[in-house]
Structure 1
Amino acid sequence: MQMGPIEQKIDLDSDEEIPFSSTPVMRKVHAFDSETTHAYPHADMANSRVFKQIRMGPLSSIHTVIFKSKINVLLPFGPLVILLHYVTEKHEWVFFFSLLGITPLAERLGFATEQLAFYTGPTVGGLLNATFGNATEMIISIYALNNGMIRVVQQSLLGSILSNMLLVLGCSFFIGGIIHHKKVQVFNKASAVVNSGLLLMAVMGIMFPAVLHFTRTEVHFGKSELALSRFSSCVMLIAYASYLFFQLKSQVNLYNPFDEERGDGGDSDEEEAPELTQWEAIAWLAILTIWVSLLSGYLVDAIQGASDSWNMPVSFISVILLPIVGNATEHGSAIMFAMKDKLDITIGVAIGSSTQISMFVIPFCVVVGWFMGQPMDLNFQLFETASLFIAVLVVAFMLQEGTSNYFKGLMLILGYLIVAASFYVHVDLSNDD
C-alpha cells in the first residue's frame, strides 16, 4: 500500500537532480557584481511561464542592470559630465568625470554581452565578446578618428594592451602568489602559448609599417605604409576570425580553459541561468552603447585641455590613464580569479583581452579609418612599437612554463612602472620625418 508514495518521492528527488541546462557558454566574468552565483530554481518552476514573466520583466531587468552591480555608484558622474561641459570650461574635470562615468558602463556592456551569449551559443558568443567586450575602446577610438586624433587612437589601444599584459597579469600573479604561497599555481600552457603567438603576430603587423617608414624604403613615401597597414589589418582580422573558429569549434577541449574550469564539477556556480531575456539583452546593449558613445565624445574633446591643465603629456594620458580606468572591471576580475586559484580564467581575461585588442580592435580601427577617409595606419612610431615588442617578449617568457608566482607578478608590475615613467617623459615630434 505504501509503494506508490515511496515511488513518487523517489521520482521527485530524481527530478531535482536534473540540471536545467548543460550547455557551457564562454563568457567574461565581472568582479563588481553584487551576486556572482545564480542557482537554478526547480525545473518545473523555471519552465513555467508565470515564473519567467516575474523573473524577467522590464522592472526586473532594470534592477538587474542598474542596481545589482556595486560599481554602478559611479553612474551619476555621466550626467555630471554633460553639466560640467556646458557650464564650465574646466576640461580636466570633464575628462576625469568622463573616465569615472564610462567605467561602470563598460562593465555593464560586458554583462549584457554575457547575457546575450546564453541564447547565441559559444561561437556567436565569442564573436559578441570580441565586439562588445572592447566596445568602450572601439567607441572612443571611432570618436577620436572622426576628430583626426590618430595618435590618441594608437596610443590608447597600445596602452590597453600594455596594461592588460603587464599590470593586470602582474597584479594577478603577485596577489595570487602571495595568497597561495605554499603551492605552485598552474594554468593552461597551450592556451597561453596560442595567445602569445597571436600577440607576436600582431607585433609583426605593427612593426613592418614602422620599420618601412623609419628606414625610408617605401616606394611611395607616406602612401606605401598606409597601403601596407590596410592590407595587414585585413589579414589580421582573418587571422583572428580563424582563431575564434579554432578555439571554439576545432580544438575547444584543448584550448578553451573555461571548459576545464567547468569540467571539475566542484563548484555550484558553473551553471548559471540568464538574468535577462534575449531582447532585453539586445535593448540594454543598444542603450549602453549609445550612452558610452555620448560620454566618449566629451572625453575625447577634453583630452587636450586636461593635458594642458595638468601639464601632462597627451601620450601619458592616452597610454596610462585611459586604459587603467577603462579596463578597471577586467582588472578586478583577473585578480579575483587569481585569488581563487583559477589562473586559466585570469589568463583568459588579461592575455585574451590583449589578443582581442591587437588582432581585432586595432585592425578594425584601421579599416574604419579607411572608410572615414582618415589615414589611420599601423605605424605606431618607433618608441611605441619598441615598447610593445619588448612587453610581448617579456610576457611570453613568463608564460612559457605554465606556472606563476608572486615574483613573476612583481617583475611584470615593475616593468609596467618603467613603461609608465617612459611615456611620462615622451612627447611626439612635431615632424615625423
Structure 2
Amino acid sequence: MPFFPTLRHAATVMLSPEKPIGTAPSTWSSLRSIILSSWFNVLLVFIPISWAINFALPDQYTLIFILTFLAIIPLAKLLAYATDELSIRVGQTLAGLLNATLGNAVELIVSIIALVKCELTIVQSSLVGSILSNLLLVLGMCFFAGGMRFSEQGFGQSAVQLNSSLLTISVIAVLLPGAFHMALQGQASYSELSTDYDILKTSHGVAIILLFIYGSYLVFQLFSHKALYDDNNPDIQQSRGYEGQNPWLRLRPRRRNGRPVQSSDPTGDGQASGPADGTDSELGPLPTDAESEIEPYMSVGVCLGLLVVVTVLVAVTAEFLVDSINGLTASGAINKEFVGVILLPIVGNAAEHVTAVTVSVKDKLTLSLGVAVGSSIQIALFVIPFIVTLAWIMGKKLTLLFDPLESVVLFLSVITVNYVVQDGKSNWLEGMVLMCLYLILAVTFWYYPGTDGIFTC
C-alpha cells in the first residue's frame, strides 16, 4: 500500500478519466488505506489530547490553540482523501463539482463556528487569509518546486487568465463597500446608522450576485469549456528543461562514497526518466494508458463514513480552536489579525499545499493551479458570499466591508499574481517572489493591531 494515494488518484483521473473502477476493497483494507494515507496521520494523536486539555485546563488558551491547530491539519488531509476517493466513482464532471464543494470544507466549518460565536473579525480575516495563502504561498511554492526541475513550466494561459478575471471581480466586490463608506463620511448629510444599514443591504445583494457568478463558473468549467482545464489542452505551453546540467542538482545530498545521489532527471533536460518498472519512489505505480482500470483504496461505505466522522471531528475541534482565540490574543503577544490572516489558513490548507507542490514537480502544473487558484476562486466567489448570506439568515451583521489593510493587500496580491501568470509559464524566481511577498505580509500583520469593525452581532 503506497503512501500519498490521493496524489496518485488525482493523476490517474486526469490521465484516464474514462477507465472503469476496480473492485472495491474490503472494510479492513479500506481502514488500512486510511491509516497509511499520509504522514499527517501522526498528528491525529493531538485530537484526544486537545479535547482533554480543553476540558481539564480551560484557561490554558495558548496550549489549547496549539493542540487544536495541530489536530485539524490531519483531519483536513483525511477530508481531502475521502473526497478524492469518492470523486473517482462519479465521473469527471461530478468529481469536479464534488471537489469544488468539499475542497474548502475546513475553512467553511471554522467560519461558520466563528460566525455563530459572533467572531466577525475572525470570519473575515481567516477567509482573506485563505485566499492570500493559496495565491502567494501555495502558488509560489509550486512555481519554485517545479522550477528546481524545469527551466520553465507551461500551463493553460486562457484558463488562468479567466481565473484571474474572476478573482479581480471578487476583489472589487470586497473593495466597493469600503469605498462606499469612505465616500459618504465626508458629507454633511452623513448618517452613520443609515450608512451602515445601506452597506449591510449592499453586501447582501452583492453576495447573491457573487454566488450566481460562481454557479456560472462551475457550468463553464465542468460542462461547456472543461477542455480548457485539461492537461492535454493545446493551449498549454510545453515545459522546458535546463540546458546542460541542472544547477539545482548540485545542491542534492551525496552518498558516503562521494558520488551524487541518482536523480530522476539525470540528463538535466527536464524530462524525467523514472524507474524501468514504471514506478515512482514517492507515489508507487504511476498511471499509464496500459492500465485497464482505476484501483479504489476504499469502499463507498467506508468513504462516506470517513467523511461524516471527519466532519464531526473538525466541527468539535474547530469550536475549541475558536474559543481559545480570545484568550490567546488577550495577552497582547499576538493579535487577531495575524491569527486570522496567517495562522488559521495554514490549518485548512496544509494538506492542499503538499499535494499542489508535489504534482508541480511531476510537471502537472495545471493540477497545481487548480488547487491553488481554484481554491482561491471558491473562497472568493462561494465561501465569502455564502457566509454573508448565512449571517443574513441568522440575523448576524456580517458584511463585505473588510478591514482596510486586508482589502488593499488582497487587491495588490491579485494584481501581482495576474502579472506573474499572464505569459502562461513559470520559473523558480517567480515562485520565490510570491513566497517572499507572503512573508512580507506575515511580518506586516504580526505588528498590525487591526481596526474595530463598524458592525457587531
Asked whether the two chains share a fold, i.e. TM above 0.5, the reply is: yes
CA pair 36-145 structure 1, distance change in 2 beyond 3 A: closer
How far off is 1:83 after superposition? 0.6
- Match for 2:196: what amino acid? G
Question: Is the 1:34–1:70 contact (alpha carbons within 8 Å) kept by the matching residues of 2?
Answer: no
SS in 1 for 2:195: coil
1:90 match: 60
Gaps of 5+ in 1: 1-30, 41-45
1:76 match: 45
1:351 aligns with 2:324: no
2:28 match: 59
How far off is 1:126 after superposition? 2.5
1:239 match: 213
SS in 1 for 2:89: helix
Percent of aligned pairs with the same residue? 37
- Match for 1:391: what amino acid? S
Q: Which moved more, 1:312-321 or 1:64-73?
A: 64-73
1:386 aligns with 2:359: no
1:209 is aligned, of 169, 177, 202, to: 177
- Match for 2:48: what amino acid? P
1:99 is aligned, of 48, 62, 69, to: 69
1:194 aligns with 2:162: yes
User: 2: distance between equivalents of 1:350 and 1:205?
Assistant: 21
1:135 is aligned, of 91, 96, 105, to: 105
1:403 aligns with 2:374: no
CA pair 229-431 structure 1, distance change in 2 beyond 3 A: closer
Question: Is the 1:210–1:379 contact (alpha carbons within 8 Å) kept by the matching residues of 2?
Answer: yes
1:361 match: 383
1:144 match: 114
Gaps of 5+ in 2: 14-18, 239-277, 279-285
How far off is 1:338 after superposition? 1.8
How far off is 1:75 after superposition? 0.5
Question: Is the 2:164–2:414 contact (alpha carbons within 8 Å) kept by the matching residues of 1?
Answer: yes
User: 1: distance between equivalents of 2:40 and 2:87?
Assistant: 22
User: 2: distance between equivalents of 1:33 and 1:136?
Assistant: 20
The alignment's TM-score, normalised by the length of structure 2, stands at: 0.79
User: 1: distance between equivalents of 2:379 and 2:7?
Assistant: 26
How far off is 1:127 after superposition? 2.5
CA pair 36-234 structure 1, distance change in 2 beyond 3 A: closer
1:301 match: 323
How far off is 1:362 after superposition? 0.7
2:229 match: 256
2:131 is aligned, of 161, 177, 201, to: 161
Q: Which moved more, 1:381-390 or 1:206-215?
A: 206-215
How far off is 1:35 after superposition? 7.6
2:242 match: none
CA pair 260-60 structure 1, distance change in 2 beyond 3 A: farther
CA pair 359-431 structure 1, distance change in 2 beyond 3 A: closer
How far off is 1:377 after superposition? 1.1
Cα-to-partner distance string for 1:275-330 (whole Å, 9 max, x where unaligned): 22333322221111111001000000011222235701110011001112321111
Q: Which moved more, 1:415-424 or 1:266-275?
A: 266-275
Question: Is the 1:95–1:306 contact (alpha carbons within 8 Å) kept by the matching residues of 2?
Answer: yes
User: 1: distance between equivalents of 2:37 and 2:224?
Assistant: 37
1:418 is aligned, of 440, 443, 446, to: 440
User: 1: distance between equivalents of 2:96 and 2:3?
Assistant: 22
- Structure holding more helix per residue: 1
CA pair 422-125 structure 1, distance change in 2 beyond 3 A: same
1:316 match: 338
CA pair 164-214 structure 1, distance change in 2 beyond 3 A: same
